[in-house]
Amino acid sequence: MELSAADLDELRPRLRFKVSYRVGFACPDIEDIVQETLARFLVAMQDNRIRQREAMGAYLNGICQNVILEYRRRWTRDVPDAEIVTEPADHRLPETELFEMHEAIAAGLQELSPRDRQVLRAFYLDEKPKSEILAVTGLTDENFRVVLCRAKERFRQIYNSQMKRRASSGH
C-alpha cells in the first residue's frame, strides 16, 4: 500500500486537530506530535504492518494515541514535584473568648422580645426552614422578613453595647 503526498496533506490537518484537542490547543509541541505520528505511520506502512486500506485510519489513530501518551509521560516526568504546602495557622478563637461570646449572645437574646428571640433562635441557631418558622409563629412571608431584619438589628445593637461594656470594664 502506498500513500501519496496528497493523502498525507489530507491527513495532516485532521491529525493536527485531534492532537490539539487531546493535548490542548495552546500546546507548543503539537507539530512535533503530528510529525512523530506520521513518521511512525509511514514506517508501519513500509513494513507492511497495515494489511487493509480500510484499517489505516484506526491504525493511525492508535499510533497517535500512543505518541500523545508518551508525550504526556515525558512532560509529567520533566515537571518538578509540587511544592509542599504547610498547614495554615489556627485562627479559631481561644476558649475564654468563645465562652464570653456565648454569654454575650445568650444575654443579648434575653433582652429581645419573645417573638424576636424565637425567630432569631429558630432561623440562625436551630437552622429551621423558613416554612416551619412561619407555621410556628403564624407570620406571613413578608412579615417574617421584616421581623427577622428588625430583630437582627436590635440584637446587633444590644450585642455591640455589651461588648463595649465588657471591654471598658476590663473583662
Q: In the 3-class helix/strand/coil scheme, how is 51-105 assigned residue by residue?
A: CCHHHHHHHHHHHHHHHHHHHHHHHHHHCCCCCCCCCCCCCCCCHHHHHHHHHHH
Task: Please report how many Cα atoms fall inside a 13 Å half-sphere around the Cα of residue 6, on the Cβ side.
Answer: 0
Q: Which domain holds residue 40?
A: 5-78
On whether residue 73 sits in a domain, the answer given is: yes
Contacts of residue 56, Cβ cutoff 8 Å, sequence gap at least 6 = 1, 50
Same domain for 105 and 50: no
Same domain for 74 and 17: yes
**Full pLDDT tens readout for the chain, 171 residues:** 677 788 888 889 999 999 999 998 888 899 999 999 999 998 988 888 888 878 888 899 999 999 999 998 887 776 666 677 777 777 787 888 888 888 888 888 888 999 999 998 899 888 899 999 999 999 998 999 999 999 999 999 988 888 787 778 765
Distance separating alpha carbons of residues 23 and 67, to the nearest angstrom: 11
Q: Write b or e for each residue in 29-57: b if 16 or more Cβ atoms lie within 10 A of its Cβ, otherwise e.
A: ebeebbebbbebbeebbeeeebeeeeebe
On whether residue 83 sits in a domain, the answer given is: no
Same domain for 140 and 111: yes
Same domain for 72 and 101: no
On whether residue 57 sits in a domain, the answer given is: yes
C-alpha cell at 25: 490547543
Same domain for 101 and 165: yes
> Tell me, what CATH number does 22's domain have?
1.10.1740
On whether residue 86 sits in a domain, the answer given is: no
On whether residue 103 sits in a domain, the answer given is: yes
Same domain for 49 and 101: no
Amino acid at 64: C
> Tell me, what CATH number does 161's domain have?
1.10.10.10
Picking from 162, 143, 154, the residue whose alpha carbon sits closest to that of residue 113 is 154
Picking from 156, 166, 150, the residue whose alpha carbon sits closest to that of residue 103 is 166
Give the total number of structural domains in the chain: 2
Query: pTM of the predicted model, to two decimals?
Result: 0.45
